[in-house]
């Protein structure tokens, strides 16, 4: 098995595939940025919960989806081969405010709304609607 070159893309794909298959949970290898991304989605009300299982070096994230929510549309924007950066004045609302864009900034992972309020730009990781 080859190593994963894009961990965020791998997480987004695992979540998308699990939802299409009708699963209530999915698992992914643990990393700090994946944990922060999932916690941000829980805070925004798009995921039910995220927990860690296992012992260190083989810890996993267990992501639980909302039961009454339709499948999320997850799209990876910035990849290892093509980084996408946005200044604060270039941030547009996603799906007329019904979706969110997740950026990594000097102040950590934030949504597009939070980035506009804080007046900071950053790398556009993914769009969720």
- Each residue's pLDDT tens digit, 65-93: 998 888 889 999 999 999 999 999 999 99
Structure tokens belonging to residue 118: 């804080």
Domain end point (choices 65, 94, 113) = 65
Do 15 and 46 sit in the same domain of this protein? yes
- Work out the average pLDDT over 91-116: 93
Number of domains into which the chain is organized: 2
Q: Is residue 45 part of a domain?
A: yes
Pairing of strands 108-111, 74-76: unpaired
What pLDDT is recorded for position 1? 63
Total-model pTM: 0.92
What pLDDT, on the 0 to 100 scale, is given for residue 88?
Answer: 94
Q: How many CB atoms lie within 10 A of CB 129?
A: 14
For the segment 40-59, what is each residue's pLDDT rounded down to a tens digit? 999 999 999 999 999 988 99
Expressed as residue numbers, the domain containing 102 is 74-128
Two structure tokens written together for 35: 């944990």
| Mean pLDDT computed over every residue of the chain | 93
- Residue 91 is part of a domain; what is its CATH number? 3.30.1490.10
Which domain-ending residue is among 65, 89, 114? Answer: 65
CATH code assigned at 43 = 3.30.1370.30
Q: Which helix (H) or strand (E) holds 104?
A: strand 100-105
65, 83, 115 - which closes a domain: 65
Residue 12 shares a structural domain with residue 61: yes
Residue 2 backbone phi and psi in degrees, to 5:
-85, 150
Q: Which of 2-6, 9-13, 59-63, 93-97 has the lowest mean pLDDT?
A: 2-6
For residues 102 and 120, state if they share a domain.
yes
User: Does residue 1 belong to any structural domain of this protein?
Assistant: no
Determine what percent of the chain falls in helix, strand and coil, rounding each to the nearest 5: 30, 35, 35
What is d(CA 125, CA 9) in angstroms, rounded to the nearest whole number? 9
Does residue 11 share a domain with residue 61?
Answer: yes
* Residue 49 sits in the same domain as residue 81: no
pLDDT tier, 4 (very low <50, low <70, confident <90, very high otherwise): confident
Q: How confident is the model at residue 2 (pLDDT cuts 50, 70, 90)?
A: low
Q: Would you say residue 96 lies in a domain?
A: yes
């Amino acid at each position: 098995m080859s190593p994963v070159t894009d961990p965020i893309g791998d997480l987004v794909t695992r979540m998308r595939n699990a939802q299409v298959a009708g699963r209530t949970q999915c698992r992914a290898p643990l990393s700090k940025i994946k944990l922060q991304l999932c916690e941000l989605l829980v805070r925004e009300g798009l995921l039910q919960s995220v927990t860690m299982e296992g012992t260190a070096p083989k810890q996993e994230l267990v992501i639980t989806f909302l039961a009454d929510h339709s499948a999320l549309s997850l799209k990876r924007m910035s990849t290892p081969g093509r980084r996408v950066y946005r200044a604060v004045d270039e941030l547009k609302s996603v799906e007329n405010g019904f979706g969110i864009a997740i950026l990594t900034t000097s102040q950590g992972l934030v949504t597009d709304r939070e980035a506009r309020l804080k007046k900071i730009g950053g790398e556009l990781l993914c769009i969720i609607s």
